Amino acid sequence: MSEAILFRNARLFDPASGRDEAGALLAIDGKIAAIGARLEAPADARIIDCRGKCLAPGLVDMRVQLREPGAEHMENMVSASHAAAAGGVTTMVALPNTDPPIDELALVDFVARRARAIGIVNIHTYAAVTKGLGGRELTEMGLLAEAGALGFTDATRAVADPLVMRRALSYARTFDLLLVQHPEEPSLAAGGAATEGEMATRLGLPGITPVAEVMMIERDLRLVEITGARYHAAHVSTAAAIDAIRGAKARRLPVTCDTAPPYFSLNETAIGDYRTFAKLSPPLRSEADRQAVVAGLADGTIDAIASDHAPHDQESKRLPFTSAAAGIVGLETLLPLSLALYHNGHLPLLKVLRALSCAPADILRLPGGRLATGAPADLVIFDLDRPWRIEEERLRSKSKNTPFDKRPVQGGAVMTVVGGRVVFEGGG
């Protein structure tokens, strides 16, 4: 049982209901007990004066690589939990590309047991679509879902074989499960390191055509039409892919998608001078694509923003660009980089918060992501306007692979609450 906490003098934001008002929130026994303009605290309650700062549902990060089991030198559940708490993330969902991959009941249970033992933030996991992430033989998706898997994905690999994908979607439809695709046609991306175009040519890097993304998504959308399964495209990054998803939603297909901060914060010029810390999968795109991602978030085509947290050690990144690992850390920078969409006038604040909280919670059918009586007291208090600078050496993640080192940002978490317990306090 957690203590009772009364949060006073807060600016309350609930993107699920559209709430934006000054007030107070009372949490008792891990749940939100009351919300109002003026609330009385129980005699034994802890009182936290928010001093006008923003109080919102904790962030739900639907795409995180935890590296445990198998590569704990890069990250583990403890270090990722501390990083998440510092970033205002109260729930994260792990990709199954561990060693061994999460494709059996015992491994889903392992994640659940470790999460309970650590007890900092909520940790859930996906399970693999195919055994060993090999792209051929389907896992026991129904049993894995019963064991706690929130969805099914082959993580950073696309399910490339259309017959395997059709079978997976048909299986998922039978049990009403979610399939998450890494949308990149692998034969078009093989050997590539950067988006095909002027920048890749100038640097002498093998290119990946942006068409690889939309081709995979358009194929999958045809299969969704056949099967009726719930389908989610991860880290969309091109205008063509966003247009395809926009059309699918207009046809009322059960399709959702997310993007990640690099795809609306950076473009392909960030890899100049062969900066491997800006090497991603999918790679950074053109400025026109970056603007299309912003527009997709603004019109609601893109449902959610995920960190796409992919920790790598120095040895994996300090290599020639074509040999370096793809991916960056993102748990602690998710909120401030997303708030830039508001500060730059691209999105209203409630829409930014929706993409970070209730939208991913709804996609994953989790109970959090909203300020409502009876909902989990998973909360973030953040300073909307405080200027600061991202510094890689201060990140709590074990790995420090970020292209945002020294980037000035505005706003960030000052307190994170999970199940009515304060798990992070700081940040000014």
Give the pLDDT score at 427: 58
Residue 113: phi and psi, rounded to 5, are -65, -40
Tens digit of each residue's pLDDT (9 = 90 or more) over 79-132 = 999 999 999 999 999 999 999 999 999 999 999 999 999 999 999 999 999 999
Residues near 151 by beta carbon (within 8 Å), at least 6 away in sequence: 93, 126, 127, 177, 178, 179, 180, 232, 364
Scanning the structure block, which residue is given the tokens 């940790």? Answer: 123
Q: What is the pTM of this model?
A: 0.97
Give the pLDDT score at 2: 65
Region at 148 (left for phi over 0; alpha for psi -120 to 50; beta for the rest) = left
Positions of the chain with pLDDT under 70 = 1-2, 427-428
The CATH superfamily assigned to 5-55+377-425 is Urease, subunit C, domain 1 (2.30.40.10)
Measuring CA to CA, which residue among 426, 378, 400 is closest to residue 124?
378
Q: Which residues are catalytic?
A: 308
Give the pLDDT score at 352: 98
What CATH class has 58-364?
alpha beta
Do residues 240 and 292 touch, judged by C-beta distance below 8 A? no
Give the pLDDT score at 43: 87
Give the pLDDT score at 40: 87
Instruction: Please give the Cα distance from 382 to 411 (Å, whole number).
Output: 7
Residues near 192 by beta carbon (within 8 Å), at least 6 away in sequence: 206, 207, 208, 283
Domain boundaries, given as residue ranges, for the chain: 5-55+377-425, 58-364
Give the pLDDT score at 318: 94
Give the pLDDT score at 160: 97
Helix, strand, coil content of the chain in percent (nearest 5): 35, 25, 40
Task: Write the DSSP assignment of 368-398 as a string of letters.
Answer: -SS--TTSB--EEEEEEEEEEE--GGG--SS
